[in-house]
């Protein structure tokens, strides 16, 4: 993962801290409990919480891969899992639906969050359930973000000459553009 991906993850966490739905139980007004991992919390007392993590990136060239310095279009996948106690069936559908909507509204309605990258190319949302020592409803939102990077060469060379080896192994330097 690039450091830029981590910056986006950490900025996402900062923006989601205000979601009171994920504040520690019995402490209204506290910031949301957020973990930078996909690992479920070990105890039901750790619910509700958010898990915010990266699951990978794909880097592809925007055009001809062999022309000039390397540059890439990155597609990074940012996952946000809202973990809620599911020990009560009453209004579980409404709670998971509201949790999924709140995550999207918080991020997609924030122009400062959106301007960090070029585009959002996909969003996938689903609800799952996990049985550890407790039953949890997991609202998973996967957001694929796109941005570009380029990688200028780190060589102290202006590419004004090329070195050609001769059969005797010594070689010589030749100017690339002798008229310049």
Which letter, b or e, does each residue of 82-120 get, where b requires 16 or more Cβ atoms within 10 Å of its Cβ? Answer: bbbbbeeeeebeebbeebbebbeebbeeeeebeeebeee
Show the low-confidence residues of the chain (pLDDT under 50).
none
Predicted confidence at residue 145, as pLDDT, reads 95
Residues 174, 164 contacting (CB under 8 angstroms): yes
* Model confidence pLDDT, tens digit, residues 80-101: 999 998 877 778 888 899 999 9
Nearest-angstrom CA–CA distance, 1 and 56: 7
Residues 58, 79 contacting (CB under 8 angstroms): no
Every domain of the chain and the residues it spans = 3-154
Predicted confidence at residue 158, as pLDDT, reads 67
Predicted confidence at residue 69, as pLDDT, reads 80
CATH of domain 3-154: 3.30.2000.10
Neighbours of 26 (CB within 10 A): 7
Predicted confidence at residue 14, as pLDDT, reads 95
Predicted confidence at residue 155, as pLDDT, reads 67
Q: Is the peptide bond before 11 cis (omega within 30 degrees of 0)?
A: no
């Amino acid at each position: 993962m690039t450091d830029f991906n981590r910056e986006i993850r950490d900025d996402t966490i900062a923006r989601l801290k205000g979601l009171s739905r994920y504040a520690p139980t019995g402490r209204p007004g506290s910031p949301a409990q957020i973990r930078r991992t996909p690992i479920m919390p070990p105890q039901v007392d750790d619910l509700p919480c958010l898990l915010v993590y990266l699951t990978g990136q794909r880097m592809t060239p925007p055009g001809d891969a062999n022309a000039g310095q390397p540059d890439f279009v990155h597609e990074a996948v940012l996952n946000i899992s809202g973990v809620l106690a599911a020990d009560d069936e009453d209004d579980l559908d409404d709670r998971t639906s509201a949790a999924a909507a709140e995550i999207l509204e918080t991020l997609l309605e924030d122009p400062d969050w959106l301007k960090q990258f070029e585009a959002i190319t996909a969003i996938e949302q689903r609800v799952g359930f996990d049985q550890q020592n407790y039953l949890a409803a997991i609202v998973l939102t996967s957001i694929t973000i796109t941005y570009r990077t380029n990688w200028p060469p780190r060589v102290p060379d202006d590419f004004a000459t090329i070195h050609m080896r001769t059969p005797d192994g010594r070689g010589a330097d030749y100017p690339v553009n002798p008229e310049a």
